[in-house]
Amino acid sequence: MAGMEENDEFYLRYYVGHKGKFGHEFLEFEFRPDGKLRYANNSNYKNDTMIRKEVFVTPSVLKECRRIVSDSEIMKEDDNNWPEPDRVGRQELEIVMGNEHISFTTSKIGSLMDVQTSKDPEGLRIFYYLVQDLKCFVFSLISLHFKIKPI
Amino acid sequence: MANVEAEAVDFEPEEDDLMDEDIGDGSASSPNRGANAPRLKSAITGGLSSSAPKKTKGRGFRGEASTEAERNARMSGRFDSLDSDGGPGPERSIEGWIVLVSGVHEEAQEDDLQNAFGEFGEIKNLHLNLDRRTGFVKGYALIEYENFEEAQKAISEMDGTELLTQSITVDWAFSKGPFRRRNMRRRSPRGHRSRSPRRRF
């Protein structure tokens, strides 16, 4: 089955967070197969309110998300040689597309320098840019729908 | 089943799943299956399941229980949404109606979209996001119109047309309810599936 088939299953979840003096601060979003987009952002700095939003997106939006993932070729990568999550933070990217299911974890990536000096710069670079592109997509959707600033 | 239910999220089975469904323990039916929202099994529980039909990859499958419990706690709270009747059709956003344009040329400028889409109504907001690596347009745009009619007209007149030599698709961004389950329930394979036990993977 081709990865871009419209009726293929698709699920995506991204998490980034850490535990520090402001508690557990994190950002997480997921696209579910039925179109439900969930977004959660918990920052205890200044105001300790958790933002949790959900909205159903159309198949077209899910398809675009899948295209972004597919074009990135992230499914070919492996997190074996990526930096392990640490005290500074943790990232998780879970994607189901067609008959593949990835669940990658790594530390926070501060800049491209972290990518360059890692043991798998090619793979980590793909992850690094994909995450930014996905965040950008989700932030646009959430901010347009709810008129909030996602971060 | 209930506690599995609470933590695991499953998908619709794929075609290849259907083949081995009949092998199950033969317990009569799974009538409630269609009533549940489609759910995905968390990676952390999913990876170790021997019947997982997917090729899995990544350290997320190592199955740290604390990580999973934490994730369940995070996602189990109440999520805000705008009032919606849950029915079919596009959903209004807080200040207007959002349209997704995909297939946008990587060298497109905001003006190109303004020119093409401005004739259906004033564009209240335009997001033309860039590819973070290349700096070119990522390939989609989100456009906000104030009125339903404007957005509807943009969709019906622009979907499938060409913009800067590329064919674009134009559709609503948000929906009042889920799309997948509704379609699946009405499809004939349902009858076939209903003989098999509720599948966990």
Say if CB A1 and CB A99 are below 8 A apart. yes
Q: Among A26, A36, A39, A81, pick the best mutation site for testing chain B contact (most B Cβ within 10 A).
A: A36
Q: Going by C-beta distance under 8 Å and a sequence separation of 6 or more, which residues neighbour residue A80? A: A120, B59
B70 vs B56, which has greater pLDDT? B56
Q: Tell whether the model's pLDDT for residue B120 goes beyond 70.
A: yes
Residue of A nearest to B74 (CA): A40
Cβ-defined contact of B173 to A38 (cutoff 8 Å): no
Q: Tell me the angle at which helices B110-117 and B148-158 cross, rounded to the nearest 10 degrees.
A: 100
Mean pLDDT of B163-173: 98
Of the partner residues B38, B58, B80, the one whose CB lies closest to the CB of residue A53: B80
Task: Report the percent of chain A where pLDDT is more than 90.
Answer: 82
Residue B23, amino acid:
I
Rounded to two decimals, the ipTM of the complex is 0.93
Mean pLDDT of B126-147: 98
Cβ-defined contact of A53 to B39 (cutoff 8 Å): no
Whole-number Å distance between alpha carbons of A74 and B71: 23
- Residue B64, pLDDT score: 74
Query: Where is average pLDDT lowest: A30-44, A97-111, B76-90?
Result: B76-90
List, as ranges, residues 72-131 from A with C-beta within 8 Å of B: 78-80, 84, 92, 94, 96, 99-105, 129
Confidence grade of residue B180 (pLDDT, cut at 50, 70, 90):
low
Residues of A in contact with B132 (CB under 8 A): 129, 132-133, 136
* pLDDT tens digit sequence for B88-100: 899 999 999 999 9
Say if CB A127 and CB A112 are below 8 A apart. no
Tell me the backbone φ, ψ of residue B193, rounded to 5 degrees: -65, -30
Size of interface A-B (CB pairs under 8 A): 191
